[in-house]
Structure 1
Amino acid sequence: MKFQISILFIGLSFIAYSQNKISGKITNEQNEPLLGVEVYIEDLQKGTSTNENGIYELINLPNSQIKITVAYIGYETQTKNINFQQNEIVINFTLKEAVFKMDEIIVSTAFNKLQSENVMKVERATVQQLKNKGAATLIDGISSIAGVSQVSTGIGIGKPVIRGLRGNRVLVYTQGIRLENQQFGDEHGLGINESSIESVEVIKGPASLLYGSDALGGVLYFNPTKFAESNLFDFNFNQTYYSNTQGSSTGFGVKQSYNSWKFLVNGAHNQHSDYKTANSERITNTRFNETNFNTAIGFSNNLISSALRFNFNNSKIGIPEEIGIQNSHKTPLLPYQDLSTKMLSFNNIVFLPNSKVVTTLGFTVNDRKEFEEHENEETEESHTSHNETIEASLNLKLKTFSYDTKWHLPNFGNIETIVGIQGLHQTNKNYGEEILIPDATTDDFGVFFTSAIDWEKSTIQGGLRFDSRSISSEKHIVSHDDEEHIFEAIDNTYKNFTASLGYKSLLFKKITSRINLATGFKAPNLAELTSNGVHHGSNRFEIGNNNLKSEKNFQSDIALEYNTNHFEIFANGFYNYINDYIFVSPTGEFEDTYAIYKYTQDDAKLYGGEFGFHLHPHPLDWLHLNSSFEFVIGKQNKGNFLPLIPANKLTNTLRAEFNSNETFKNGFASISLESTLKQNNISEFESSTKGYNLVNIGAGGTINISNTSFNVNINMNNVFNTNYFSHLSRLKIDGIQNIGRNFIASIKFDI
């Protein structure tokens, strides 16, 4: 019997590690081999590059259908679906030159197609592309994408806004799991560092079908850092300097991959002093420090592909109140936030003969502490000494366990189908003197299906979903200055159906058209339901409403793109109607000098779009002219404008790209003019904002010396040191201007 069991295990071992292999040659249309073409399999998080003869090879692949992607700068990206009928397959590729940009696989949508094949228009940018634009922070770079803005408090706190919607209406995903970090507040930043990110994808519009509650306005989907190519070791180090804040960013990364196992470690530390306006005034306590650590282990064979990732992020961010102390110190003064987020995720794909099951488990712990000023603290030295001894006045700990399982069913002809379940269990606990939101438990459960049908030049995709969210909280009585504020216990359940339908087609062989109709929803959050006290971040007394209903919306999107070899024009329009839109409204009353605001609801609508063109004139193949215009209008049904709607913006960029030789590659020089128009469409408790123009310049490229490559970037933002107020700056109400001229220099080397 033991002998038979041994034979069985030996046989299973041979099955599990049979060496399925794909190899081939990649050439251009002149049949010349291409060196350095990326060949990547997204499901396996596994890739390689072609050698000087254009040859590639990938081994240890699953006995199932896989999608292989071939990408190279200056050429059209190609994908092929492969089913292993034998252990070794030879596939050659001939790449055609592409004028504008590489096509990319979109991970945030259901079927992981190339952007050109996708029914839903998704904006994608790599971290390096955002750096090339001179982004001072990750959210600063994301807000350069058309249709995306940020509600900011200095440069240390930025909250994404997608087509006028923000807060819990915009869902953030990283490492394949939803980021939960008390995101209901405008003064709560992302808590994600670029060192752990490869790229970002932006879904502009309802994505509740795939993600459930809180994806009513859109999704920011951060793709984690890739593993190294098979059988390669990679080490990188980067350093960035910021003149305005006298800040610095230091990071490193180590990667090692084998045929089956993959490992990586990344780390970064950022520190900034108070930012300086164009008037040379430093805005006291906008300083911040951030530390990030990320590690991952991956494994794949012919049966499974797994990745275990851990990310730790800590930020100490000053909360500005005035223009006071003028120095370049980097330790935050009181009041300040101390935020820590630990994320553990496990992604696993099981390959079946004609299908696959994708499961992602996540566990997140978010600690949010806020330290306040005390009496007789008038000097920076007293601030610093108290930082070491005082207890946090606000101390929230949020724990979230999430699960996501999708079964990609066997294809039926040209029909792809996914069924799945998603959910989370979340607890919120208070450990400080003050209570912003009560101790509470949240449970989500959702089930959905979606299908896509391809034929000729057209694709139709749709789906249906059901969700249930239950929120229960404990009763709290907070006594302060002989007054009592009561947080009543709640036990609410919200149930919703959502659906989407999209159609993509190629018109007249030149115009790509996309039409999407989708519904979404957002259940009320704890702050909206239970608030009863001073919210120091927003400087007001907030009163919640236990009777709030779920927000539900219906949005229609139309996207048109016209492409030739040297000219591209696009037009994206949307109309978004929201039932029971939740907002805070001033009552005209005061509590201890704080204005009282209550949460209420009214139907609302938002509409607008993004329009632009890209000119690549021949024979000036190195020259690019990009222009885009974006606008959004938001109104309540009663006629009042919605608050914090971004101003209309026109961006023009002239960019030159060049490769001198093998020593210097991917070189660029650019100049852009951002023209932000005045914003007079304001809510009843906002003030209008004047228009302004900002000029930004940048240059950079990659220098290759022996086996080491140096990536160098130099940027200057707000070249003419313009005085301006962003309409979405939370410091605008105090008459505090945005950041002045900022020179940014960075270098990164890879071994």
Structure 2
Amino acid sequence: MLVFAQEKQTYTVKGKVVDESGEPLPASILVHELGKGTAASLDGTFSIKGLNPGSYHLHITHIGYKSLTKTINLESEDLELNFTMVETAITLQSLTIEANPFKNGPIEQSQTIEVVDRDFIEKNNSGTFSNALEKLPGISTINTGVGISKPVIRGMSFNRIMVNDRGIKQEGQQWGADHGLEIDPFDVDRVEIVKGPASLIYGSDGMSGVINISPAPLPEEGTIQGHLINSYRTNNNMRSHSAMVEGNENDFVFKARVTLQDFQDYRVPADRFVYAGFELPVYDNRLKNTAGKERHFSFMAGLRKDWGKSTLTISQFNQTAGIFTGAVGIPNSYNLRHNGSYSNIEYPRQDNMHLKVISNTNIQLNKNWLEIDLGYQRNNRLEESLPHIHGVGPTPEGNLALALFLDTYTANVRFNYHINQDHQSIIGFQSSWMENHFGGFEFLLPDFQSLSSGLFYFHEYRWKENFIVNAGLRLDGAMHDIQAHYQPVYDNSLNPTGETTQRNPDINRNFLNLSGSTGLSWIIDEKNNFKLNLGSSYRIPTPIELATNGVHHGNFRHEVGDANLNSERSFQADLNYTYSKENFLVGFSPFISYFDGYIYLAPTGRFSTLPAAGTLWEYRQNNAFFSGAELKLQWVLFKSFKATMAAEYVYNYNLDSGLPLPLTPPASLISGLEWTVPAGFSRFFKNGYIYLEYRQVATQERVDRNERITDGYGLLEAGLGWEIPVGKQDWKLQISGQNLLDTFYYNHLSRYRLLNLPEQGKNININLKIPFSIK
């Protein structure tokens, strides 16, 4: 097949890029499917040679101008194109959206999507990938200390959010609030957040949204380059170092990265806290045993040819992180006392490893494209603690309280069928096999095997040039085979009695579900765009929801599953309206959802009979209602001075109990001012900026039964950055400060909120990026 493709006549796409006044622009032109492109010369002309007959998507970008996307068809001759780019001061318009399955750009997509790039992530570096996304409306995080965080979209998280890394769904025991997202924050170049029902294309876990982590465009032919990033955070003395090198030799491409992070116990603006009516100390304003270290690497190699491209990526995430000493067992003054080092990682702690092997291949078949993504993942999660705290004596497992070993095999195949200029279709198949084993002297999740597969059809129709509609159907099936577990019983002297108690029965469940969605994008004029997306999707209950019966120490509670849970069904509507012009942009995104059989973890108000277990929480299933909205605004008040605002609100309601659902993020508003240093201001202060930001978070009074109310708070942040010419390269220096007023506050979604522990105090972050070029 590939030989046949290479024997075909190839063609050239050439043309010119100018601004509205006709002046040439040295813009970048990228052929998305091939990951190849070129930069226009100073006179605006460009040429891309060696293209087979077929359909392609071109992306034209240039700093300070609204990005363009053009669908082209090469059939029997070379193609000459002329592009006119419109100047804009709005940064959101300079990013091309790819989350549309047809890669058609921002105006055709019918869903609400946020896009961020490498610059945004570096500017908002918070130590974890999830925390860097909190600046976006509708995105929040569930945190356990500093190094452990997971994303929340529109008030939903866990198995209702799908995280795709290079087209493969990340599987890492994401059902746990204390289970962070095992993603190297320095190894992310581009992120697309799809809000609302996205289950049709991506699978049932995309019920509330999808986070797509996309690789950067492949390096240009004949180049070898890279960068070094070093950063330091003052609050917990976090030291981060990341080195990357990439290159392209005769269409053989490669990229490698190594990241090291070390951090100490973090500081809080308090010297004591109250737990169960007792006042306990926080020595030296540091939370004991919240230090950690991380070691990550990734390597990609592949080919880029005229028939398409194929890459293989191997990555491994390694993290050892302490859990606050009072999180397991009853905290007291003795076990909170400082032991002489803020860097020690003592018990209890997490030791996590996530290995991924991902193959991505795009093959051109005439005007159509075949995409194949294959993946293998190994997730090892070890939770270590002292046995006597858990009410057991010396065990063969030593200090290994809980071990979870998850193997996942994934295969995704999509055929993008270009019917004509007005009609496009995708037929896709997805399948995954998961096998979980556990160890340690504690029990939480049993051994299980799970098989899931889905088949979908998606169609897009351009009814008019400014009116695009889409619709699709998806059929999914899944099987859970969960093994029973019998736990040893210990006497009052912590010795095994030889007896066992059943913690969960054998569970064999099969599920079959049909889902569908439809949407439209109406480009009213060049300034107004209206989008509507409707969907009915489902989510099958996970093994943890069906079979858990143990102490989840990271959440400070005893969690119990229900083997009789059924699939939850959602009916969702998502609207997006955007008004934009050269110096002003406003976007409004309301949403509404009804869930039939919504599965959630709820506090019972009863105490567990297990040692050091705290309260008892149960997985329940009730009908629920969600609604809310996001508002974003960018306004360039005058040249180089910009005001921004991002607001979000989530309202939910348990239709059976008449109460709100637990762990609902409070309403928040981020307001910011940013001054961009004018070009030519100083040759030692290139591309400089200074910003000031204030986040106001409302009191969360809408809580579930036995859930605490959390007071509102305000946080001040500021930063600056600029590029310094050093030789032939520009070094980038960024300095930012979070919680500059050292505010004492509780994060409603933090797992340490249950212990009345405040969040981090003042934090200064210094980041230096040093690019280099070998060839």
TM-score norm. by structure 1 comes to 0.93
8 Å Cα contact 2:127/2:147 also seen in 1: no
The one-letter code of the counterpart of 1:266 is R
Q: Does the residue aligned with 2:116 lie in a helix, a strand or coil?
A: strand
Please name the residue that 1:382 is paired with.
none
Q: 1:226-282: per-residue Cα shift (whole Å, max 9, x none)?
A: 432232221211100100011111001101114522111111111111111123611
Deviation at 1:134, TM superposition (A): 4.9
Deviation at 1:524, TM superposition (A): 0.7
* Structure 1 Cα separation of the partners of residues 77 and 295 of structure 2: 46
* Aligned residue runs from structure 1 range 625-664, under 5 A: 625-637=643-655, 638-661=657-680, 664=685
Deviation at 1:65, TM superposition (A): 1.3
Please name the residue that 2:314 is paired with.
310
Please name the residue that 1:3 is paired with.
none
Pick the aligned partner of 1:714 from 726, 735, 741.
735
Q: Does the residue aligned with 2:622 lie in a helix, a strand or coil?
A: strand
Q: Percent identity?
A: 26
Q: 1:366-406: per-residue Cα shift (whole Å, max 9, x none)?
A: 111111125599xxxxxxxx9xx955332221111111111
* Structure 2 Cα separation of the partners of residues 707 and 33 of structure 1: 25
* Structure 2 Cα separation of the partners of residues 234 and 345 of structure 1: 23
1:450 and 2:442 equivalent? no
Please name the residue that 2:494 is paired with.
none
Q: 1:649-705: per-residue Cα shift (whole Å, max 9, x none)?
A: 011000111343376443211001100011100111211111111110011122334
Pick the aligned partner of 2:416 from 402, 408, 426.
408
Pick the aligned partner of 2:36 from 32, 39, 46.
46
Please name the residue that 1:599 is paired with.
619
* Aligned residue runs from structure 1 range 376-395, under 5 A: 390=398, 392-395=400-403
Please name the residue that 1:63 is paired with.
53
* Structure 2 Cα separation of the partners of residues 401 and 465 of structure 1: 21
Pick the aligned partner of 1:77 from 67, 71, 74.
67
8 Å Cα contact 2:53/2:76 also seen in 1: no
8 Å Cα contact 2:168/2:375 also seen in 1: yes
TM-score norm. by structure 2 comes to 0.90
* Structure 2 Cα separation of the partners of residues 733 and 659 of structure 1: 48
Deviation at 1:355, TM superposition (A): 1.0
**Structure 1 residues 390 and 234 mapped into 2: Cα distance closer, same or farther (>3 Å)?**
farther
* Structure 2 Cα separation of the partners of residues 409 and 550 of structure 1: 32
* Aligned residue runs from structure 1 range 99-498, under 5 A: 99-101=89-91, 102-279=93-270, 281-322=285-326, 323-325=336-338, 329-374=342-387, 390=398, 392-454=400-462, 455-481=464-490, 482=497, 484-498=501-515
The one-letter code of the counterpart of 1:610 is E
**Structure 1 residues 325 and 206 mapped into 2: Cα distance closer, same or farther (>3 Å)?**
farther
* Structure 2 Cα separation of the partners of residues 172 and 472 of structure 1: 24
* Structure 1 Cα separation of the partners of residues 668 and 136 of structure 2: 11
The one-letter code of the counterpart of 1:539 is F
* Structure 2 Cα separation of the partners of residues 54 and 324 of structure 1: 66
Worse-matched range after superposition: 643-652 or 554-563? 554-563
The one-letter code of the counterpart of 1:453 is Y
* Structure 1 Cα separation of the partners of residues 299 and 217 of structure 2: 11
* Structure 2 Cα separation of the partners of residues 210 and 376 of structure 1: 46
Q: 1:427-485: per-residue Cα shift (whole Å, max 9, x none)?
A: 11123333321111111111111111121211111111010011102222111315523
8 Å Cα contact 1:157/1:187 also seen in 2: yes
* Structure 2 Cα separation of the partners of residues 743 and 486 of structure 1: 47
* Structure 2 Cα separation of the partners of residues 248 and 49 of structure 1: 37
8 Å Cα contact 2:5/2:307 also seen in 1: no
8 Å Cα contact 2:443/2:551 also seen in 1: no
8 Å Cα contact 1:274/1:328 also seen in 2: no
* Structure 2 Cα separation of the partners of residues 675 and 256 of structure 1: 44
Pick the aligned partner of 2:7 from 4, 9, 15.
15
* Structure 2 Cα separation of the partners of residues 247 and 44 of structure 1: 39
* Structure 2 Cα separation of the partners of residues 246 and 291 of structure 1: 17
Please name the residue that 2:535 is paired with.
518
Please list every run of at least 4 consecutive aligned residues from structure 1 whose deviation after the TM superposition is greater than 4 angstroms: 11-14, 86-90, 374-377
**Structure 1 residues 732 and 12 mapped into 2: Cα distance closer, same or farther (>3 Å)?**
closer
Please name the residue that 1:615 is paired with.
635
**Structure 1 residues 161 and 376 mapped into 2: Cα distance closer, same or farther (>3 Å)?**
closer
The one-letter code of the counterpart of 1:405 is V
8 Å Cα contact 1:61/1:301 also seen in 2: no
* Aligned residue runs from structure 1 range 500-511, under 5 A: 500-507=517-524, 510-511=527-528
Q: Does the residue aligned with 2:286 lie in a helix, a strand or coil?
A: coil
1:692 and 2:713 equivalent? yes
* Structure 2 Cα separation of the partners of residues 415 and 86 of structure 1: 21
Q: Does the residue aligned with 1:724 lie in a helix, a strand or coil?
A: coil
8 Å Cα contact 1:127/1:199 also seen in 2: yes
The one-letter code of the counterpart of 1:298 is G
Q: 1:563-594: per-residue Cα shift (whole Å, max 9, x none)?
A: 23322222211111111111233442531353
**Structure 1 residues 327 and 692 mapped into 2: Cα distance closer, same or farther (>3 Å)?**
farther
**Structure 1 residues 62 and 264 mapped into 2: Cα distance closer, same or farther (>3 Å)?**
farther
Unaligned runs of 5+ in 2: 271-283, 327-335, 491-496
Worse-matched range after superposition: 494-503 or 314-323? 314-323
The one-letter code of the counterpart of 2:128 is T
8 Å Cα contact 2:622/2:654 also seen in 1: yes
* Structure 1 Cα separation of the partners of residues 309 and 67 of structure 2: 24
8 Å Cα contact 1:501/1:516 also seen in 2: yes
* Structure 1 Cα separation of the partners of residues 20 and 585 of structure 2: 23
Deviation at 1:218, TM superposition (A): 1.1
8 Å Cα contact 2:579/2:586 also seen in 1: yes
Deviation at 1:14, TM superposition (A): 5.8
The one-letter code of the counterpart of 1:204 is K
8 Å Cα contact 1:62/1:301 also seen in 2: no
8 Å Cα contact 1:522/1:550 also seen in 2: yes
Q: Does the residue aligned with 2:13 lie in a helix, a strand or coil?
A: strand
* Structure 1 Cα separation of the partners of residues 121 and 142 of structure 2: 18
* Structure 2 Cα separation of the partners of residues 76 and 326 of structure 1: 56
**Structure 1 residues 85 and 705 mapped into 2: Cα distance closer, same or farther (>3 Å)?**
farther
Q: Does the residue aligned with 2:599 lie in a helix, a strand or coil?
A: strand
Deviation at 1:308, TM superposition (A): 1.2
Q: 1:74-105: per-residue Cα shift (whole Å, max 9, x none)?
A: 01212222333457544443322122124433
Pick the aligned partner of 1:582 from 582, 599, 603.
599
* Structure 2 Cα separation of the partners of residues 568 and 376 of structure 1: 56
Q: 1:305-329: per-residue Cα shift (whole Å, max 9, x none)?
A: 2121111111111111335427663
Please name the residue that 1:563 is paired with.
580
Deviation at 1:194, TM superposition (A): 1.9
* Structure 1 Cα separation of the partners of residues 138 and 446 of structure 2: 34
Unaligned runs of 5+ in 1: 1-7, 378-385
